[in-house]
A and B are shown apart, each in its own frame.
Chain A
Amino acid sequence: MTREGWIRLAIVAAVIALLEALCRTGLIHRTVLLPPSEMVVSLWHILQVGELDSDILTTLRNVLLSALVASFLGFALGAVIHAVPRLRHAIEPLLASYYAIPTFMFYPIFIVVFGVGAQAIIAIAVLLSIVAMITATLTGLDRIPPVLRKTAKVFRMSPAKRAVMVDLPAAAPYLFTGVKLTFAYSLIGVIASEFILSGAGIGYAIAYAYNNFNNQRMYGLMLLVIIVAVAANTALDAVDRRLQARLRR
């Protein structure tokens, strides 16, 4: 590991140790925050007993599904928008300010349309994450070096062949950045929707535990979400960095 990696680890460890100390000495009351060590114990207990397994699996399945849908649909839409410049000019101001729209406000509509369940949650998560993929696709297709296109022309490639053999590999690093963002936003979308109104999932379990003053379970689940988010993000980021490095070669 690099020196910076060690410093980072030390900082994270120090913050956890500080929280632990503050909680143990009673400076932060137990009703507010549990010591991190107890969160780990609680999470371990939750995973061992397994009564929340179905909630955890539901959430993970929804996140993966919505990331998948958003990635493919976003790529397809991005490719279409890229191909029609006039549509692109019209739609670009909307894309630029899309994240200003509080998408969650439309969650109740989806609930009415799809009912309380996985579909409404996936729909809102896709809505939240698709634009990241569209933007990434547009950037990726824009950044294909003209020389590659010219080379394809020299080889007399058909448009389909060019798309598969030249355009796609050239845009891949940007597309992957889009996929990474799609995953992060899907996770946020799914858990936030479950949190506000749902009957299943980790977000629902946390809200339920909060409403029942079950701090033990609430903090155990929070820790689980943090671990999943950080682990997934770190893994995707590592791949992303390698692809980006390939660009600079």
Chain B
Amino acid sequence: MRKFGDFLILIVALIAVWQGLHMIAGDTTLTSPADTLARLVALMRTQQFWANAAETGQAFALALAISLVGGVGIGTLLGLNRTSGNVSEPILISLYSLPKVTLYPLVLLCFGLGMSAKVAFGAMHGLIPVALFTMKAIMHLKPVYLRTARAMRLSSGQVAATIALPAVLPEVMAGARLGFSLSLLGVLIGEMFASKRGLGFMINNAMGLGDIATIMAVAVFLSVFAIAANALLLVIDRAIPR
């Protein structure tokens, strides 16, 4: 409980720093925490906000689903064989560290403006970490597990379901947390650069209008959502027996 108390103190301290910066910088540069909250509440009453949030949410959900299913699939396939794993690991790491924004025009040219480009861009960000984590976990599976499986004469389906998957679950969860954040980031950047709907577009639009309160309100909304979802994933992660 004390740990939670310390965390609360930290949050309060962060808000105090924000308030302090606001006092130094002034209202036109950085809105105060209270004003931001007021703007967020006002925004949440409008239908437009929820329409934009729904647009972003839909793109994000699709991108995340593709990242998770595709990432675990690709990671498993590549990780099962030592050679394919060793060959593909540096390629995947290079792809991961690539500034994928530069490739966004290519995505736009392939998919056109709209939902599918955003989904593709989000999935591009999320797929690789999930695949990388899954692959590494499967490659580093303790050999004794597989030998035990052989001794018990399990079929390959049973090996996957009862041994490999539970054994790599913690790493897959870590990959999923990273994939979650990165696909959200991908979708938002996609919306900021080229879109007419969504929360990223709202921010970009507010940026053009110099409407700091809206930018802060949407940024805080997204941060709280992301941290809450991440905390939930962490709780699930801790609950996995290992």
Residues of chain B with a CB closer than 8 A to A191's CB: 99, 101-102
Q: How far is the CB of A183 from chain B (nearest CB, A)?
A: 9
Alpha-carbon distance A103/B30, docked complex (angstroms):
16
Query: Which of B38-46, B139-147, B153-161, B216-224 contacts its partner?
Result: B216-224
A93 to B5, CA, bound (A): 13
The answer to whether B219 touches A106 (Cβ under 8 A) is yes
Picked from B97, B180, B188, B218, the residue with its CB within 8 Å of the CB of A233 is B97
- Chain B nearest CB from A244 CB (Å) reads 14
Residues of B within 8 A of A101 (CB): 181, 222-223, 226-227
A196 within 8 Å of B (CB atoms): yes
Task: Give the tally of cross-chain contacts (CB within 8 A).
Answer: 155
Interface residues on B, range: 35 or more
Segment of B47-55, B67-75, B84-92 in the binding face: B84-92
Residues of B within 8 A of A112 (CB): 28-30, 210, 212
B99/A94 in contact, CB under 8 A: no
Task: List B201-216 residues whose CB lies under 8 Å from chain A.
Answer: 203-204, 206-207, 210, 212, 215-216
Q: How far is the CB of B102 from chain A (nearest CB, A)?
A: 5
Asked if B25 is an interface residue, CB under 8 A from chain A, the answer is yes
Q: A44 at the A/B interface (Cβ < 8 Å)?
A: no
Minimal beta-carbon separation of A131 from chain B (angstroms) = 12
When chains A and B are docked, how far (Å) is the Cα of A226 from the Cα of B215?
31
Q: Chain B contacts of A222 at CB under 8 A?
A: 102-103, 105-106
Contact of A72 with B by CB under 8 A: no
Minimum C-beta distance from B41 to chain A (A):
19
Contact indicator per residue, chain A 111-136, by CB within 8 Å of chain B (1) or not (0): 11100000000000000000000000
For the complex, count residues of A whose C-beta is within 8 A of B. Answer: 53
Closest CB of chain A to B176's CB: distance in Å?
12
Q: Which of B3, B185, B210, B218 contacts A89 (CB 8 A)?
A: B3
Q: Are B188 and A102 in contact (CB under 8 A)?
A: yes
Query: Please, which residues of chain B bring their CB within 8 A of the CB of A12?
Result: 91
Given contacts A89-B3, A113-B29, A97 and B234 within 8 Å (CB-CB)? yes
Q: How far is the CB of A14 from chain B (nearest CB, A)?
A: 12
Cβ contact within 8 Å between A225 and B97: no
Quick check: A90 and B3 within 8 Å, CB to CB? yes
B97 to A229, Cβ gap below 8 A? Answer: yes
Interface residue B120 (Cβ < 8 Å from any Cβ of A): no
Sampled A-B contacts (14; CB under 8 Å): A32-B110, A87-B6, A89-B6, A90-B3, A94-B7, A105-B203, A191-B101, A195-B101, A195-B102, A207-B105, A210-B108, A229-B97, A230-B94, A233-B97
Q: Which residues of B contact A (CB under 8 A)?
A: 3, 6-7, 9-10, 25, 28-30, 83, 86-88, 90-91, 93-94, 97-106, 108-110, 177-178, 180-182, 184-185, 188-189, 192-193, 203-204, 206-207, 210, 212, 215-216, 218-219, 222-223, 226-227, 229-231, 234
**4 A-B pairs closest in CB distance:** A90-B6, A97-B230, A100-B226, A105-B219
